[in-house]
Structure 1
């Protein structure tokens, strides 16, 4: 490994080896060669003079790519596809004359990218299922643990730790639906020709339109697609890239949201991400337990989210049948978006499987705010016991203002319940019963159970056997 030049941290630090291989040179150019084989096979099947020996020769050299030779050709020709055509031809002299027959560069570029998009989306799907399963386990474990809810980042009606985790989980469920939709509608470019008119193939088949259509169907099928895009210019619609990047940005946003919550909860010392025995939180402050994994998710997620706009801009600037300013951009945006999402989900699963809850801290924080939250319940019970609603309301208001002043001005615990207990107007009210946190979380525990059974259960039943293996974090 060279230490003299920039090394992309998505490769060296964050993403999985599996995703890195998917977007590596070997995978890309072997896929190009498989496409040339599929094209030659299909053309031969439809009557063009291509021999079985030529096809066998092509198949025999799909993976043994001479990258040095390809680089030399590209330096001379300034054309990456033709560089690899010549390199493949050198390895297959008997088939050299029929490699890339009738095709334009984007036959291999776009069809290979469609395959890479499909396989990468499948990996993202597996990783999503793994994180969903981890969050589901956490939600089940803490389904009934009352905790302070927040709206506007201000104390609100109690929820449970498990219910809050279902919110994080459901975001990923919605992302999974989008990923699966993208997989469903993804198609091959197949064989469309230089400007999408199939003119070169019509010439090869001497005006036979049916054979042109059949060639397109066969090549797409050999690539593992059931269909190809109805019409294209030179490329498949760059709208597809924009849609995929938007989808990946959605996954990143979900992870960012959840781990932002976790960072806030870590600040409150209620929940922490995993922290290893020898891990250092700060070079200057030895006591620190910084939520660095959640922070890393947020940092990478923002990068991925930014690429959504990039895809839309590239699509918007594709003039007429195509312009080449998409090429360099896509070499950056597509792989890095997938590597980024992969990294986010690898770290997210690690966090979700190792989150630590501190119930006593959760309980204390809830107790600090609970007296104010139950005042309406206290009012109703006191009215039922025969009190005057307006007089009781004023008493509670006065006691609440006094208790609030003690908390804010003197830094002392909330003593509202003590004040109410000492007021004979509320003597008939069982304040201990009303202040039981488990009675204030509504249907949170049942909602967790229903969510896990009705939403997560079917997903794990359908896809749980195809989860991604849990990756070990490298940093």
Structure 2
């Protein structure tokens, strides 16, 4: 992921320096375990831990000859360690250390994302409480439906983020595994206890069975989880973008002093941050497809997954981390306009009360089909000819035969639709 969208903490996890350091940590943990079991001299293990180091430029230099990055890495480490380097990588294959290291990095990335999501959830909850009773129009198919509150919308988003937290926690567990079982997973040249000891020290769980690699359904589940999170973020961002439309303008992104919206039009205040989140979510979903393609490998392993993962794992984790933090800031500073919400609620001249009016007629013993027809014909006059809906209803003999003026007036009260808001919000502790 380009630096523009990379937060330092997540960027550090996926840096080349940290990747090689994590691989070295796996190698040293294996040496420590072997020394503990008496398979290599304890002094050798101490010497390895004291001297082991690497130089990225030197690794690249060696790899230009070997065309094998792990061999280049081991050769470079040996240059620092000396004779005891013969014990490094004993009984292991490249994927033992690489896969275990990558899973550890994925686990660490998930922990950062979980922290991001929990902070975002709390911002959503705080703002949901703030606008708990702020009336606005609910829209279905983009068309005015019935009154609701803006707080309900925010509470709904917090519930979605809560489910995303649960998903990421599960995905983290799925990839918090390690594997040190040799070329085809049979422990042909290594004691299975080494794997158990290394994984315990790294905070991982040994996979029950592996080939040369940890199976990529784990990685795919992790990546599809990130894609769901990104889609949730995009959903929220898209709703903010819609609320910021000039002809709606019920809420909008904070516009900082000195900010410019257009090189041509000085008046512009564009939802650029939400648009950025929407765009970046597409990348994460695309990467999830690539991760599913990686599940299929030849026999006990081929390398077709490797080039893909070098791109998609850092890109998607960095992306979701960035977008979650960005959207947290957007919602935290979101400008909300309750008066505009009330104004928009009245724009259809009372059409939003059509269901309540229909049900009031039905309550008098009228067939639903007849009541629907009577209310709809008055509603269509408002839609197509701009006539006043309420006035026409009050003059409609079919309706006034069953409803008094006071009963009709009672139907045109938005507060009726919000009478259960407190009950709904109690479910969220708000």
State the TM-score, normalized to the length of structure 1: 0.83
For structure 2, the residue ranges without an aligned partner over 5 or more in a row are none
Distance 1:415 1:71, change over 3 A: same
CA distance in 1, matches of 2:144, 2:396: 26
CA distance in 2, matches of 1:247, 1:286: 41
Match of 1:416 among 389, 402, 405: 389
CA distance in 2, matches of 1:46, 1:258: 54
> Corresponding residue for 1:361?
340
- Written as runs of structure 1 = structure 2, the 5 A alignment for 1:46-125 is 46-52=37-43, 54-61=44-51, 64-125=53-114
Moved more, 15-24 or 149-158: 149-158
Match of 1:441 among 398, 402, 418: 418
Aligned residues: 424
CA positional deviation for 1:44: 1.2
Moved more, 348-357 or 371-380: 371-380
Kindly indicate whether the alpha-carbon contact (under 8 Å) linking 1:136 and 1:452 is maintained by their aligned counterparts in 2: no
> Corresponding residue for 1:128?
117
CA positional deviation for 1:154: 2.1
Query: Secondary structure of 2:139's match?
Result: strand
> Corresponding residue for 1:258?
236
Query: Secondary structure of 2:17's match?
Result: helix
Kindly indicate whether the alpha-carbon contact (under 8 Å) linking 2:179 and 2:214 is maintained by their aligned counterparts in 1: no
> Corresponding residue for 1:271?
251
Moved more, 395-404 or 125-134: 395-404
> Corresponding residue for 1:169?
158
Match of 2:17 among 26, 33, 51: 26
Match of 1:315 among 283, 286, 295: 295
Query: Secondary structure of 2:427's match?
Result: helix
Query: Secondary structure of 2:287's match?
Result: helix
> Corresponding residue for 2:221?
243
Kindly indicate whether the alpha-carbon contact (under 8 Å) linking 1:66 and 1:87 is maintained by their aligned counterparts in 2: yes
CA distance in 2, matches of 1:383, 1:100: 80
> Corresponding residue for 2:281?
301
CA positional deviation for 1:440: 1.3
Kindly indicate whether the alpha-carbon contact (under 8 Å) linking 2:144 and 2:352 is maintained by their aligned counterparts in 1: no
CA positional deviation for 1:390: 9.3
- Written as runs of structure 1 = structure 2, the 5 A alignment for 1:436-475 is 436-452=413-429
Q: Cα RMSD (Å) of the superposition?
A: 2.4
Moved more, 390-399 or 295-304: 390-399
1:247-266 per-position Cα deviation (integer Å, ceiling 9, x unaligned): 10010010111111111111
> Corresponding residue for 1:292?
272
Kindly indicate whether the alpha-carbon contact (under 8 Å) linking 1:370 and 1:435 is maintained by their aligned counterparts in 2: no
Match of 1:178 among 163, 167, 176: 167
CA distance in 1, matches of 2:244, 2:326: 17
Query: Secondary structure of 1:221's match?
Result: helix
CA distance in 2, matches of 1:84, 1:224: 24
Kindly indicate whether the alpha-carbon contact (under 8 Å) linking 1:15 and 1:346 is maintained by their aligned counterparts in 2: no
CA positional deviation for 1:432: 4.6
Kindly indicate whether the alpha-carbon contact (under 8 Å) linking 1:104 and 1:193 is maintained by their aligned counterparts in 2: yes
Query: Secondary structure of 2:136's match?
Result: strand
CA distance in 2, matches of 1:79, 1:30: 17
Q: Give the structure, 1 or 2, with the largest relative contact order (CA under 8 Å, sep 6 or more).
A: 1
CA positional deviation for 1:60: 2.6
Distance 1:393 1:154, change over 3 A: closer
State the TM-score, normalized to the length of structure 2: 0.92
Match of 1:16 among 3, 7, 29: 7
Query: Secondary structure of 1:149's match?
Result: strand
CA distance in 1, matches of 2:314, 2:152: 35
Kindly indicate whether the alpha-carbon contact (under 8 Å) linking 1:378 and 1:434 is maintained by their aligned counterparts in 2: yes
Query: Secondary structure of 1:451's match?
Result: coil
- Written as runs of structure 1 = structure 2, the 5 A alignment for 1:221-236 is 221-225=200-204, 227-236=205-214
